[in-house]
Every structure is written in structure tokens, then in C-alpha cells.
Amino acid sequence: MTIRVPLREQRDASYDILIAPGLLAELPALLKRHCPAPAYAVISDSHVAKLFGDEVLKRVSGTGYRAELLTFPAGEWNKTRETWASLSDRMLAAHFGRDCAVIALGGGVVGDVAGFLAATYLRGVPYVQVPTSLLAMIDSSIGGKTGVDVPAGKNLLGAFHQPRLVAADLNLLTSLPPVQLSAGLAEAVKHGAIADAEYFTFLERDYAAILSKHGPALERVVRRSVEIKAEVVAEDERESGRRAILNFGHTIGHAVEATAKYEALHGEAVAIGMAYEARLAEALGIAAKGTAERITSLLERFRLPLERPHGASVDDLIKVMRGDKKARAGEIRFALPKEIGAMHHDAKHGWTVAVEEERIAKVLDAGQP
């Protein structure tokens, strides 16, 4: 299955997302077609490299290309400037030239770091995303957002740098631990909530089959989520308009990640964020009654947390939100649902809503409006 991301601002940067079992075996041919280069830096983390690193190196180098595997310790807490600098120095020491390319082999953290590395190395080299987690397949590998975390917040240093190709090998999901599967499903819930009520209903109805990794059900999740993300990104490449809807759950979610020192997985933090932000939308009179209940109920079915961790105080969460890159003129802004499958929008303020800190604190403190 091929889903095209037809970018409007940079048409020559448009790219394909391929979804199928067995794509890892076809990687050399895919690279030759979509991202030819004499040398490839394969960027992965310590966990994924043990599972798939040798296979990718053998397949790519076996066709005559030069390929080197560069890894860093797994975990969101390693998505830092220091990791980016270390990888950059290692590529320079290995004499990768401007004609090289980067392969991002891993989950969301690897994709963000490797993409930022590709965006900045020798002022920019091409790269390919080979996502190995559900979250990366359906969300973070698509759209060209790259970056690293800093003490002030998540993804505050980065760049838009579109991949030449996203190759989502469905076979890689068979070894995905249940907690990682659930974390990825948080983004699927988000996609249904923001853009497709029918898809949301499918997730409600077939949640058990999805959790058991039933092939057709899981393939439908990947396909539909990718279609939704690709459609939104194609319309708004640099998040100047409708792409903001993809941030539903992320304003609070990113704050949860930062205050909890990244002990919660990204998908878990987004689930918590969606639960609170949906309640906030109802409290503001933006969302139809019952919207928050459907969202939280589905998140619960997918075994995702709904409440902020004990270590994430209301004051600390709001402090982090003030520094969020989505904040404008000192205002904390949210992308909020109007109903399942549709997001709030108005002509004056666009796709986000400024909310007073007192109102945010009330919802965070009570857990309900």
C-alpha cells in the first residue's frame, strides 16, 4: 500500500509512505528508488539495534553501498543535544560526505533525533524513516518534524525536514511489547477523535482484536491513521494552520512528560493529555456533552493511563505549558475537539483556543470540569 504525501509548499519534497509486511527485505531496492546515495548512516537506539540493526546493515551493504550503524542509548531522556552532537561528530569522524543519506531505524525518539541529524548535518542531507513501533509508523515518522528535548521542554530545538520515504514494515509490530502497542494506539485514538468518527467507532468496536495484534485489524489502524496524518500534513506542512489539530492532547501531554522526567511513554502522556483536554473542551462549552467520556473510555480499553502522575503537580505542569512552543503572546493554547471526528475552529483564532491558567488548573486538579 502506498500513501502519497503531496506537499504544497515544497512539491519536490513530496514523498511516499509504504505499508506492507516484509519491507525490511526490500530496503536496498527502496533506497535505490527513493533515496540513492553512496553511503548510509543507519541511526538507531541500543534496543532496536539489537533486534534489526545487523539485518539492515547486511541488506544495505550487501548491494555494494557503504553502511555504518550508529547507536545511542534507548529512552526519551536520551533525546538530547548531547546525543545529536555525539552522532554528528561520529558521522564527521567516519567521513560521511554531503552525498550521504541517513536511515532512521527505530521508534519516535530515533526518528526525531535521526531526522534532526539529517536536517543539520553539512546543512542537510536526505533521510529515510524505517519506523519500528506503532506510534512511529502512524504518527511521528510522518510530517518532517524533527528535534530534541531540552530542560525547558520537549522538542524545543528542531527543524522541519521531510523524509524521502517512510517504509512501515508491518512484520516489525509482531515483536512489539503490549505497553508499546498501547502507547501507539493513543495516537490512533487521537486521529479518530480529530478527523474521522467512523474510524473512532471502529477502534471502539474492534479494540480487542487490535490489542491481540489481529492482522487485518492492526493493518487497518496503520492504514487509516497514516491516511489522516498524511492528509493533514500535506495541507499544512509547517503547522501554520489546520495541522495544529494534531496537537490534541499534546499541550498537557508534553508537560506530563517533562515534569515526570520522561518516565511515562509519549503515547501514555498523550493519552493523559487527551483525557484532560477533552474534559477542558466540555468545561469551556466547546465539545458536545459526552465527548470526553467516549475518549477516556476508549483510552481505558487500550490500557492507557488517564490521570496525571503523582509527581506532576498542577503548578509544575502549567509552568511547562507556559514555555510550550505552541504558546502565543504568553497564552497557553489548546487544539480542542468539538465532537468525535471534528475539531473546534473559528475564523478569528483558527484551530487553537487560549485558556486561562485558572481554568486549566481547575480541570487538572479535579480531573473533571
Domain map (residue ranges) of the chain: 2-175, 195-366
Q: Is 195-366 the same fold as 2-175?
A: no
Q: Is residue 247 annotated as a catalytic residue, yes or no?
A: yes
Angstrom distance (rounded) from CA 257 to CA 190: 17
Enumerate residues 6+ apart whose C-beta is below 8 A from 75. Answer: 45, 109, 262
β-bridge mates for residue 44, sequence order: 71
Residue 357, amino acid: E
Catalytic residue among 34, 161, 187, 282: 187
Please state which CATH number belongs to domain 2-175: 3.40.50.1970
Nearest Cα to 256, choosing from 193, 186, 157, 206? 186
Catalytic residue among 34, 250, 279, 308: 250
Catalytic residue among 229, 279, 308, 333: 229
**Do 243 and 194 contact (CB within 8 A), yes or no?**
no
Strand ranges, E, within 120-279: 127-131, 145-150, 153-160, 165-169
Catalytic residue among 11, 98, 123, 310: 123
CA distances 43 to 56, 244, 257, 291, Å, are 11, 29, 24, 40
Catalytic residue among 161, 247, 257, 279: 247
Q: Is residue 331 annotated as a catalytic residue, yes or no?
A: no
CA distances 161 to 212, 241, 279, 349, 350, Å, are 35, 18, 34, 27, 25
Q: Is residue 349 annotated as a catalytic residue, yes or no?
A: no
176-218 pLDDT, tens digit per residue, is 999 999 999 999 999 999 999 999 999 999 999 999 999 999 9
Spacing of C-alpha 105 from chain mean position: 14
- What pLDDT does residue 369 have? 40
- What pLDDT does residue 330 have? 78
β-bridge mates for residue 351, sequence order: none
Q: Is residue 243 annotated as a catalytic residue, yes or no?
A: yes
Q: Is residue 50 annotated as a catalytic residue, yes or no?
A: no
Q: Is residue 123 annotated as a catalytic residue, yes or no?
A: yes
- What pLDDT does residue 203 have? 98
- What pLDDT does residue 11 have? 60
Catalytic residue among 59, 145, 294, 333: 145
Angstrom distance (rounded) from CA 250 to CA 351: 14
The DSSP annotation for 190-207 comes to HHHHHH-HHHHHHHHHSH
- What pLDDT does residue 348 have? 80
Enumerate residues 6+ apart whose C-beta is below 8 A from 204. Answer: 294, 297, 298, 301
Catalytic residue among 190, 224, 266, 333: 266
Q: Which residues of the chain have pLDDT under 50?
A: 368-369
Q: Is residue 250 annotated as a catalytic residue, yes or no?
A: yes
Residue 358, amino acid: E
Q: What is the value of pTM for the model shown?
A: 0.92
Nearest Cα to 67, choosing from 22, 103, 25, 116? 103
116-160 pLDDT, tens digit per residue, is 999 999 999 999 999 999 999 999 999 999 999 998 888 899 999
Catalytic residue among 237, 239, 268, 282: 239
Catalytic residue among 243, 308, 333, 344: 243
Q: Which fold has domain 195-366?
A: Dehydroquinate synthase-like, alpha domain (1.20.1090)
What does pLDDT average to over the chain? 93
Catalytic residue among 254, 279, 333, 344: 254
